[in-house]
Amino acid sequence: MLRVGIIGATGYAGAELVRILAGHPHVELTTLTSRQYVSERFDAIYPALRGVVDMVCEAYNPDVICDKADFFFTALPHKLPMAYVPELLARDKRVVDLSADFRIKDAAVYEAHYQPHTAKDLLAQAVYGLTEIYREQIKAAVLIGNPGCYPTSVLLPLAPLLRADLIDGEHLVADSKSGVSGAGRAPSLGTHYCEVNESYRAYKVATHRHNPEMEQILTEQAQKPVPLVFVPHLVPMSRGMLSTIYAVVRPGVSAADIRACLHDFYKDAPCVRICPDGGVPDTRNVRGTNFCDIGWHLDEKRNRLILMAAIDNLVKGAAGQAVQNMNIMAGFDEIAGLDHVPYPV
């Protein structure tokens, strides 16, 4: 059994890690840290898990927790992992970081959108944990920068088509929608029930921090600069994310080409499901699971490919993909602990 610790276990992504790892066949959860709930039982904070997890939260102390665990997830607001991760790596631990701190290769880009980076030397060795695209690098990684939820939903459908040069890198638009849990557990006016219910709105229009993260990977996949117009929206639901993506297709590209490209690229990917022709992904169908469901429609009259990708923002968009990456790093079955059967309703 791999001894695993979760640093920042009481936020939504951390708690989702607890949920998944509590049922993982090859993992023993040995330490949960929390800043807010030191010495409190985890199941007092999340009563859903009473009778399932009986651990007590502890403060972050690298010496103590590194005695207990060999693999760590850091589920913290960005900036904190920059301080913690070097301490963990120095003790020969492997880490999947769910924040933005190790996702962006160019420190200047990171610093333009976040804050000064204090662990730049780790950026080169960090692997971007978009599993289906970087599986080979992940196998050998000691540090994963786990992707953001929006990037996961936008990059998985686009990467194969850009690689195959079936779509133009110009005029890419991603109109994305997220459930409220993506905003985390800390109360705010923006996540107050009455302010979200019966409401639909965009936010951070073309200014969201996931935009450069996506452009970095798109550019890498296309091997030339790919600008992405990106607008996130908030949907009155707890979990789920859908990105609707608009791309101009290369001349002569047919629906059959699109279909073949997507099916071929993901034929061995257990967490990606390509919808049948005419089918559309629905956030409800991936709720609680590590699936990314991808649908597509070619608007031939207007020469535009419409891609749609649905994920659970807390699973494939955060904790699930993090565990998928751990599985690969540890040599486990890629979906160990992730074979949750989704609710039919």
Q: Which of residues 208-267 bind a second copy (CB under 8 A)?
A: 227-229, 231, 233, 235-240, 242, 244, 246, 248
Residues 131-160 that bind a second copy (CB under 8 A): none
SS3 5: strand
Give the β-pairing of 272-274 and 201-202.
unpaired
Q: Rounded CA gap, 76 and 334, in Å?
A: 24
Partners of 177 in beta bridges: 233, 242
Cβ atoms within 10 Å, residue 306:
15
- Which range of residues in 68-76, 86-94, 119-127, 190-198 is near a second copy by CB under 8 A? 190-198
Q: Is 173 in the site for a second copy (CB under 8 A)?
A: yes
Instruction: Specify the residue for token string 């029930």.
Output: 193
Question: Residue 340 CB, nearest distance to a second copy (Å)?
Answer: 8
Q: Which residues of 30-44 are buried (b: 16+ CB within 10 A; e: fewer)?
A: bbbbbeebeeebbbe
Count of residues of this chain found to bind a second copy when the rule CB under 8 A is applied = 90
Please say which residue, 36 or 118, places its beta carbon nearer to a second copy: 36
Q: Is 116 in the site for a second copy (CB under 8 A)?
A: no
The residue within the footprint of a second copy, chosen from 79, 91, 113, 284 (CB under 8 A), is 284
Q: Is 342 in the site for a second copy (CB under 8 A)?
A: yes
The residue within the footprint of a second copy, chosen from 281, 292, 311, 327 (CB under 8 A), is 281
Q: Is 200 in the site for a second copy (CB under 8 A)?
A: yes
Question: Residue 91 CB, nearest distance to a second copy (Å)?
Answer: 29
Query: Which amino acids are annotated catalytic?
Result: 149
Please say which residue, 164 or 237, places its beta carbon nearer to a second copy: 237
The residue within the footprint of a second copy, chosen from 1, 23, 61, 116 (CB under 8 A), is 23
User: Looking at this protein, which amino acid is placed at residue 293?
Assistant: D
The residue within the footprint of a second copy, chosen from 63, 92, 136, 198 (CB under 8 A), is 198
Please say which residue, 52 or 90, places its beta carbon nearer to a second copy: 52
Give the β-pairing of 228-234 and 201-202.
antiparallel
Question: Residue 127 CB, nearest distance to a second copy (Å)?
Answer: 27
The CA–CA distances, whole Å, from 50 to 16, 53, 216, 333, 337 equal 15, 6, 42, 28, 19
Q: DSSP of 200-268, one letter per residue?
A: -EE-STTT-THHHHHHHHHHHHHTS---EEEEEEE-SSSS-EEEEEEEEBPTT--HHHHHHHHHHHTTT
CA angle 337, 16, 132 (to 5 degrees): 55
Q: Rounded CA gap, 26 and 56, in Å?
A: 21
Please say which residue, 124 or 301, places its beta carbon nearer to a second copy: 301
Q: Is 283 in the site for a second copy (CB under 8 A)?
A: yes
Question: Residue 63 CB, nearest distance to a second copy (Å)?
Answer: 29
Q: Is 343 in the site for a second copy (CB under 8 A)?
A: yes
Residues 54-83 that bind a second copy (CB under 8 A): none
Q: Rounded CA gap, 265 and 162, in Å?
A: 12
Question: Residue 161 CB, nearest distance to a second copy (Å)?
Answer: 17
Q: Which residues of 231-263 are buried (b: 16+ CB within 10 A; e: fewer)?
A: bbebbebebbbbbbbbbbbeeebeeebbeebbe
Q: Is 309 in the site for a second copy (CB under 8 A)?
A: no
Q: Is 8 in the site for a second copy (CB under 8 A)?
A: no
Q: Is 329 in the site for a second copy (CB under 8 A)?
A: no
